[in-house]
Amino acid sequence: MDSRKTATSSSPVEITYRQNGDYLIPNIVISEEEASLPPLTKWGLMRRDYLKNQRPVLYNQLKLSGELFKHCHETEKCATERKEFMMKQFVAKNPISEDLKNTDPLKWVGHMNMLRAQVEEIIRAELIYE
């Protein structure tokens, strides 16, 4: 008995299956490009979860076409670069003395955390949840 079967559909992707008892299990293959990329971190995981929960049609289209991981990785890269760029701008617009880092480190950390939170909220609104 042949344990491999091929789905016949009009999609450009050919799906093969293997027999496991009474069930047909799809043979899922990870592309070399996906295997070479590092795992997703904060921004990529947030984008994936947003698509999965709020935009299920787009999520399924990306997943079935094999583009989901690439899309999330690209979003992660853009968000990281944007955060670095915007943090420099926010620090320039809202300066705080470097001497304060030595004299009152809690105030300095609070100021930097406030700026980081503002930048991250903008990134979430513009890149992740859009």
Q: Where are the domains positioned within the chain?
A: 31-128
Helices (H), the chain: 32-36, 42-54, 56-65, 68-93, 99-103, 105-123
Arithmetic mean of pLDDT over the chain: 87
The per-residue pLDDT for 12 is: 55
The per-residue pLDDT for 65 is: 85
Q: For residue 8, what is the enclosing H or E element? A: none
| pTM for the model | 0.72
Tens-digit pLDDT profile for residues 25-34: 888 777 777 7
Picking from 47, 85, 84, the residue whose alpha carbon sits closest to that of residue 63 is: 47
- Give me the percent of the chain exceeding a pLDDT of 90: 63
Tokens of 128: 């992740």
pLDDT surpasses 50 at 9: no
CA distances from 29 to 36, 98, 99 (A): 14, 52, 55
Better-scored residue on pLDDT, 66 or 110: 110
Q: What is the DSSP string of 16-28?
A: EEEEETTEEEE--
Are 47 and 72 contacting, i.e. CB atoms less than 8 angstroms apart? yes
